[in-house]
């Protein structure tokens, strides 16, 4: 198994509150990604990082921000959570954009 952990694994929060999800890897992979998974949709890319302090937007980035201050950690922040952000969030890592991605165990977020 790829050395990827996500925390927390489950979180319930109220609308309007800030939330930060953490992804930690021990593989020293350059690229890290945040996806959300919703019924009826495939995994959809929120943001990705190609190095420390280097990030870019994915197809569903509105309402999310990310930060990467160390190679091993990639944080996803919901500045003001909304019910539409209730989802399962997955972190992934890869050696490069053209390489296969390995996923973490996921964080189930519920916004009430």
Partner 1 sequence: GQQLNQSPQSMFIQEGEDVSMNCTSSSIFNTWLWYKQDPGEGPVLLIALYKAGELTSNGRLTAQFGITRKDSFLNISASIPSDVGIYFCAGQLGHTGNQFYFGTGTSLTVIP
Note the residues at the interface with partner 1 (CB under 8 A): 4, 35, 40-45, 48, 58-59, 90, 97-98, 100-106
The nearest distance, CB 43 to partner 1, in angstroms, is: 4
In order, the DSSP letters of the chain are ---EEEE-SEEEE-TT--EEEEEEESS--SEEEEEEE-TTS--EEEEEEEETTEEEE-TT-TTEEEEEEETTEEEEEESS--GGG-EEEEEEEESSTTS--EE---EEEEE-
CB nearer to partner 1: pick between 14 and 97? 97
Output 15 or 37, the one with its CB closest to partner 1: 37
> Minimal distance in Å, beta carbon 15 to partner 1?
25
Closest to partner 1 by CB, 53 vs 59, is 59
Q: What are phi and psi of 83, to 5 degrees?
A: -60, -30
Distance CA 89, CA 104 (A): 9
- Using the minimum distance from each CB to partner 1, give the nearer residue, 85 or 101: 101
Please, what is the minimum distance in Å from the beta carbon of residue 87 to partner 1?
A: 14
Q: Least Å distance between CB 49 and partner 1?
A: 13
């Amino acid at each position: 198994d790829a050395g990827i952990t996500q925390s927390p694994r489950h979180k319930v929060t109220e609308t309007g509150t800030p939330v930060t999800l953490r992804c930690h890897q021990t593989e020293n992979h350059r690229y890290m990604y945040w996806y959300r998974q919703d019924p009826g949709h495939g995994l959809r890319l929120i943001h990705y990082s190609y190095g420390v302090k280097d990030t870019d937007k994915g197809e569903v980035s509105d309402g999310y921000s990310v930060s990467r201050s160390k190679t091993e950690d990639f944080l996803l922040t919901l500045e003001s959570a909304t019910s539409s952000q209730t989802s399962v969030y997955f972190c992934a890592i890869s050696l490069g954009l053209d390489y296969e991605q390995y996923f973490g165990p996921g964080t189930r977020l519920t916004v009430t």
